[in-house]
Structure 1
Amino acid sequence: MKKINAILYVIIALLYLNTSSLLAEESQASTDNNNSESRSPQESDQEYVLPKPQASRIESLKSTLTLRQLDHQIQTLEANGESFLTLYNPSLTRSTEGCVILLHSDNEHPDWPDAIGPLRNALPEHSWCTLAIEVPDIIKRAAPVQTSPSENSNNQESTGLPNQANVFARVEAAMNRARTDGIEQFVLLGYKTGASYALAFLAENPEAGEALILIDIESPTALSDYTNAQKIRQISKPTLDYYVNNNGSERFALWRKQAANQRTESDISYIQIDAIPDRVTGKNSKQLLIQRVRGFLKQNTTQITQQKQLPNIKKGLFYKSPVE
């Protein structure tokens, strides 16, 4: 009997301790909630730091260029009330053919090593200045994936590309900057989604550029490939369409080719090149890309006559005086 009483006493004690612990936890949670409700909005906001990947990416780029002693290329311009970064390389020759405006792809930066960086650094050696523009991110990192088109996506499909007004304003600001150096001829060059912006800009501003270069063009998710391809019909300037031909891009490339063939100006050059052969030759594919772009520019833009005068040669340096 005593053993039974002892066991009952232990059970009652344990139940009491558990009940006290639960009550204490509820009291603490209630206190925490009351404290959080009493905090000011500013105090609450200070507890959370939202990531800004594009800002971090641009700051890292600026730091890298500074370490390489290339910070003189960094220029900050303004468009639509926002500041944005550009990388400006003037022509390295006696005269300048014009300026190439470069638009990088989504979640990249104006010196991205795949295509934009090599081109912006190489073309100044061949009489072209380059202005690479910071393009706003389309897809925000850590953003939820949409399984069905949202109302916002439908609006973007009907009005154009995401961030289109801001990107167009940045292109115009970059051109105005180049004009201060006497530049009069412009070429639009874009890589992947940046190529879609370049295509859309020249389609809406046909006299703004003398030529268009599309490299591995990609359509943002808010814009179908077919709709994007039809903009080629509005381009009345020479166009280089340099792309990687794979299973996902064959149909898009065919639509672009068909749109080019439907243009009313049949004499306007449209060159579509499959980049695969350039990339499997074992040679430097970036150097081949530069050569493709250089050749296109030389054949399809107004070229300034650049003839260097032969140096005056003193024959006395090469001929001995007659023996007396």
Structure 2
Amino acid sequence: MPLVHRSALPALCLSLILPCAFSVEAADPQPTPAEQAAAEKSAERQPLLERSQEDAAALERVVPTGEQQSLQAGSESFLALWKPANTSDPKGAVIIIPGAGETADWPQAIGPLRNRLPDADWSSLSLTLPDLQSDAAQPRIVEAEPAPATADTSSKDAATAAPKPIEQAAGGEAEIADRAVVESSEEQAKADAERIFARIDAAVTYAQQQNARSIVLLGHGSGAYWATRYLSEKQPPEIQKLVLVAAQTPSIGKPGLAELTPTLKLATADFFYKDNAQARKSALERLQASKRLKNANFTQISLNALPGNSTAENEQLFRRVRGWLSPQPSQD
């Protein structure tokens, strides 16, 4: 083996290392800017689903596929549950609007009605409503802290007068911030209403496609408010009747139900549970408002709450709703 001079060793080592480095770089090329941007985009956190979307996904796993309908409202698709009437001559379709926090197959009122109405010759279409963004917690306004005390306390007047400009500025900023929060909340409430109305529009269109000769809106809880407001603002001629069940006005609901219901021109049934003091009070307000406007199309029906017996309570509701939708001729 030939001897290598000590001065030549660094060059020899470098000649051995460089080919290895080039081979590693060739085996693991650097990503292009486009590839790097795509990787960063895919790594971004996906937006969280709304609670209503999660609930709808859960329903899709348990409700028969034949009952599921994906309806389109603007750029959004949503789940609706359809059950045709069990007759060759259906009387029409009832579009069911759940309340806040309820699903299209909620065990109280919603599910029992949508499943039982087809036996009464009415098709049912139960909707999924979006989450109300205007009900989300508003940002808390933090008041400006007073200026820190200084060591110079030689003048009492100066010490008491100094905070005044700060307090005035803080008060002005708080007023501006409060005004911004109110305006933002109002805009969000308007956007919420538009999303809900778009879904009811889609449901009405679907019912018409099924050749429903009569269309009824039925709202439960706050869903009753949205059904009423939809009819009050849009006055669609395709809808002939309105059913309110345990109606509630949401926190963003302006005007309230007592102001909206008397203005409707179509037949309206207002079912309420008389065992609840607040429900009785609200129902009385709606009834009195209706009488003041001489609205002959408004009917109010009281129900009995049956705690611990949801089956009997739902059966009571179904029978009363069926009786109002399809009154039987009197027997002479």
After TM superposition, the score normalised by the length of structure 2 is: 0.67
Map of 1:279 onto structure 2:
306
* Residue matched to 1:92: 86
2:160 aligns with none
Within the candidate set 242, 251, 268, 1:221 is matched to 251
State the alpha-carbon separation in 2 of the partners of residues 243 and 290 from structure 1.
13
Q: Which amino acid aligns with 2:52?
A: Q
User: What displacement does 1:115 show?
Assistant: 0.9
User: Which residue identity is paired with 1:63?
Assistant: R
Tell me which of 289, 292, 305 is aligned to 1:259: 289
Q: Give the secondary structure class of the aligned counterpart of 1:122.
A: helix
Q: 1:55 is matched by which residue type in structure 2? A: Q
Percent sequence identity over matched residues? Answer: 29
Which of 70, 73, 84 pairs up with 1:79?
Answer: 73
Equivalent pair of 1:107/1:138 in contact (CA under 8 Å): no
* Residue 327 of structure 2: aligned partner: 299
Distance 2:92 2:228 in 1: 19
Consecutive unaligned residues of structure 2, counting only runs of 5 or more, are 1-35, 141-177
The answer to whether the 8 A contact 1:193-1:218 is kept is yes
Given that residues 100 and 223 in structure 2 are in contact (C-alpha distance below 8 angstroms), is that contact kept between their aligned partners in structure 1?
Answer: yes
CA separation of 1:259 and 1:208: change in aligned 2, threshold 3 A: farther
- Unaligned 5+ runs, structure 1: 1-38, 304-324
Question: For this pair of structures, how many residues does the alignment match?
Answer: 251
- 1:200 equivalent to 2:193? Answer no
Match of 1:57 in 2: 55
**Where do 1:119-134 residues align within 5 Å?**
119-134=113-128
Indicate the SS of the match to 2:129.
Answer: coil
Shift of 1:133: 1.3
Contact 1:106–1:193, Cα closer than 8 Å, also in 2: yes
SS in 1 for 2:327: helix
RMSD (Å), alpha carbons: 2.9
1:45–1:185 distance in 2 versus 1, CA, 3 Å: same
Q: Deviations over 1:23-75 (max 9, x none)?
A: xxxxxxxxxxxxxxxx989749947565422221111110011xxxx111101
Give the TM-score of the pair, scaled to structure 1: 0.68
Kept after mapping to 2: 8 A contact 1:278/1:288:
no
Tell me the residue number matched to 1:242.
Answer: 271
Distance 1:251 1:43, change over 3 A: farther
Shift of the 49–242 alpha-carbon distance from structure 1 to 2, 3 Å rule, reads: same
Distance 1:146 1:195 in 2: 29
- More moved, 212-221 vs 163-172: 163-172
**Residue aligning to 1:313:** none
Q: Single out whichever of 205-214 and 148-157 deviates more from structure 2.
A: 148-157
Is 1:183 the counterpart of 2:220? The answer is no
User: Does the 8 A contact of 1:279 with 1:285 survive in 2?
Assistant: yes
